[in-house]
């Protein structure tokens, strides 16, 4: 019995001793657990904060990448536009070069013509004088209609030829204009009043000119009719059978009657050697 009591006491003593030793260890473990739980929360927050910063940095980097990509696209578009403009400018420059070559060739031609102007001027002036002389002779040898007007035109041309303030071009233009007027006479019909010497006396008459084919006159009282005879170079009396046609021709020339066919005396053609 005593031995059992001693054994039990020993066991209880050991248990108490174990409890004494275990209590500080348990408390230490609980302290460590509390310490661990208290120190883990700041770490999570730090990690979350770090992750957020990483996302923020990534977003900023992506934004920068997008910006750079847009800039690259803009630069590419600008480059293509510049390239197209360069191609257009190359074509345009080629055309300009062709145009410049043509203009330079034209300038060379003009310079050559300018060098020849003095020579041409020396040749043109005598030619114009000969043209005026020929026109004066033609007027005198032609059918004698509007003689005063035509002689004045020739005289004006001679005066123009002697003027230093009129250019050769203007002189030439006036000479050609006079020739054109004379040419028109051969294709027109005209009625006009003028005085003519008949039988040694000046009489006022009315002329009917049909081109250069026929020049007929009628006295104002309508009693006398005559026609220019090219061969005899004089006015000859007309047959009274033409009277109605002559009056109709005068009305047509004054535009008082519609154009119509009329009979007029026409001189017979003369050979060139006889005309001389």
pLDDT value at position 64? 87
pLDDT at 201: 84
At CA 195, angle to CA 190 and CA 198, rounded to 5?
A: 110
Q: What is the pLDDT of residue 16?
A: 47
Tens-place pLDDT, residues 222-266: 888 999 988 888 888 887 788 899 999 999 999 898 988 888 888
Query: Looking at residue 100, what is its pLDDT?
Result: 93
**Positive or negative, the Cα torsion across 87, 90, 96, 99?**
negative
Angle between helices 168-185 and 147-161 (to 10 degrees): 170
Q: What is the pLDDT of residue 56?
A: 83
The pairing of strands 234-237 and 201-210 is unpaired
Cβ count within 10 A of residue 171: 20
Contact 32, 26 (CB under 8 A): no
pLDDT for 270 equals 61
Q: Show the low-confidence residues of the chain (pLDDT under 70).
A: 1-41, 118, 268-276
Residue 223 φ/ψ, nearest 5 degrees: -95, -25
């Amino acid at each position: 019995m005593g031995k059992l009591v001693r054994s039990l006491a020993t066991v209880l003593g050991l248990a108490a001793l174990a409890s004494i030793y275990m209590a500080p260890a348990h408390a230490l473990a609980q302290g460590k657990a509390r310490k661990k739980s208290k120190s883990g929360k700041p770490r999570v927050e730090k990690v979350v904060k770090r992750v957020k910063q990483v996302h923020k940095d990534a977003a900023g980097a992506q934004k920068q990448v997008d910006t750079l990509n847009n800039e690259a696209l803009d630069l590419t578009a600008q480059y293509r536009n510049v390239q197209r403009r360069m191609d257009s400018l190359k074509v345009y420059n080629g055309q300009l070069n062709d145009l410049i070559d043509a203009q330079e060739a034209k300038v060379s031609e003009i310079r050559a013509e300018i060098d020849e102007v003095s020579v041409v001027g020396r040749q043109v002036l005598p030619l114009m004088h000969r043209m005026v002389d020929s026109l004066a002779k033609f007027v005198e040898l032609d059918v004698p209609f509007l003689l005063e007007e035509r002689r004045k035109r020739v005289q004006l041309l001679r005066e123009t030829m002697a003027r230093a303030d009129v250019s050769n071009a203007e002189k030439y233009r006036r000479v050609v204009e006079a020739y054109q007027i004379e040419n028109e006479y051969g294709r027109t019909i005209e009625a006009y009043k003028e005085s003519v010497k008949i039988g040694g006396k000046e009489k006022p008459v009315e002329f009917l000119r049909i081109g250069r084919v026929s020049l007929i006159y009628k006295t104002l009282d309508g009693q006398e009719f005559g026609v220019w005879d090219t061969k005899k170079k004089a006015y000859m009396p007309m047959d009274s059978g033409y009277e109605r046609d002559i009056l109709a021709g005068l009305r047509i020339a004054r535009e008082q009657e519609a154009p119509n066919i009329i009979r007029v005396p026409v001189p017979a053609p003369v050979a060139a050697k006889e005309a001389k």
